[in-house]
Amino acid sequence: MPPSTLLSPSELSYLHSSLSLDLPIRPDARSPTTFRPLVAETDLLPTTNGSARLCFADGSEAIVGVKAEVERTIGASSTSSDVFARGEDGDGDTKMQSAEEEMNEERRRLARGKGQDSWIEVTIDMPGFARDDDGVVVFLAQMLQEGLVADEGLRDRLWIGWGWHWRIYVDILLLTTPNSYPLPLLSLTTHLALLATRLPAPISRIDEDPLFNDDWDAAEPLYPPSGSAHASKPPFTLLVISVEDNIFFDPSREELAVADAVCAVTVGTIDAPVSSGKRREGTPKLRLLSLRIIDPPARLAAATSGTEAEDDQGAWRPARGGMKRAVVGKMVKVVLEVGGVGEEVMTGLEGFHDG
């Protein structure tokens, strides 16, 4: 997918040998887990429920807008559960807390397990891919959607009442031509946009037609902020490469060119029930949603160059074969461990959203 980076054999060999040292030296002297600085802004599109713009250090840039729409749930059977709901209502009026609080709590409880995958829709627009049914675009959109729906909490939060739900449209626009794998950029921008997304607060009861508070300040965040009882975070995808036994985050173009293996690691939060009070404040526990191995560009180039260049006096040749188990294990560990890269990225993104 990315345009092949034209590098001379001596450059490739220099890069590969630098990256495979015991203490690897990246071409820009970063440590293996350091990310290049990002620039971002949120809430820039006035007509969306949440939006974000993110610029990567390599100059690529993306905008994501999240739009929510109320929709009638097709085939929702309200008869049997209605009775159940009414019964609950009868119990509720003895303990008079804030009525709204109670309604929200009840909605949350009733919504559990009722969310549907199809309520979240992701579309991607990339320059150079004019058709929106292009394989690349569909595949990327699917990968992002898959991460979002893996979080049952999100789906359930879209449930408004019997017969009504929110439908979320995540529209991703890549502004620059993709000069390397665009997935991390798109995913991090989506993450920021979803963090900034708010839905109008419902004031109707769950068995009524939906009615919302028209005060935007009262709108509820789609992802409850950390610290609240139901804290969860949108997932994100990171690109990790391996060279020999070393792994590197946020690879630059040159580093991708010599990667032995390229992985897209998707990380989400565990939707822990309210009861578990053991979590540390502000840090929802992470879980691995998916780990995909992408064909490294080096191997693609090697495949096309064919039998030629057999001579190559000591020049670097792309490695054959798959990824070592130990390397995969290391990747997962570095991403998921407490204080690891995943947590760092999560807090970094959230810190940006709050600040």
Partner 1 sequence: MTFSIQALAAPSRTNEPRSTGSDISVDSDEELQAVSSVKRKKHAAVITPGELVTDDPQWMRGHGTAATPGSTAILATVAGTLLRTNKLLSIQPLRARYTPEIGDLVVGRIVSVETKRWKVDVSAPLLAHLPLSAINLPGGILRKRTSTDELAIRTFFSEGDLLVAEVQSVYQDGAASLHTRSLRYGKLRNGVFIRVSGTGGGGSVVRARRQVWTINTANGGGDVDVVLGVNGYIWICKHSRGELVASSEEAKKMNEITRMEEAVSESMYSNRNDEIPPQTRREIARLTGCVKALVENGIRVDEEMVMAAYHASLEPDGDDVPMTMDYDEGHETHEYLGGSRGSRVVAAAVEATKG
The residues of the shown chain that bind partner 1, judged by CB under 8 A, are 6-11, 13-15, 17-18, 21, 23-41, 53, 55, 57, 249, 254, 312-315, 330, 334, 337, 339-341, 344-345, 348-349, 351-352, 355
Least distance CB 267 / partner 1 (angstroms): 13
The structure tokens listed for 87 are 């019964």
Beta bridge partners of 260: none
- CA nearest to 199, candidates 119, 140, 275, 268: 119
DSSP string, 82-115: HHHHHHHHHHHTTS-S-HHHHHHHHHHHHHTTT-
Least distance CB 293 / partner 1 (angstroms): 21
Identity of the residue, 28 or 117, whose beta carbon is nearer to partner 1 in the bound complex: 28
Report d(CA 119, CA 220) in Å as an integer.
18
Task: Please report where in the chains the tokens 């802004």 appear, as a residue.
Answer: 41
Identity of the residue, 51 or 145, whose beta carbon is nearer to partner 1 in the bound complex: 51
Identity of the residue, 217 or 311, whose beta carbon is nearer to partner 1 in the bound complex: 311
Least distance CB 213 / partner 1 (angstroms): 29
Identity of the residue, 285 or 330, whose beta carbon is nearer to partner 1 in the bound complex: 330
Least distance CB 162 / partner 1 (angstroms): 41
- CA nearest to 284, candidates 352, 329, 228: 228
Least distance CB 147 / partner 1 (angstroms): 19
- CA nearest to 33, candidates 344, 319, 256: 344
Identity of the residue, 23 or 74, whose beta carbon is nearer to partner 1 in the bound complex: 23
62 C-beta neighbours (distance < 10 Å), count: 27
Question: Contact, 260 vs 246, CB < 8 A?
Answer: no
- CA nearest to 65, candidates 185, 190, 155, 176: 190
Least distance CB 272 / partner 1 (angstroms): 24
Identity of the residue, 32 or 115, whose beta carbon is nearer to partner 1 in the bound complex: 32
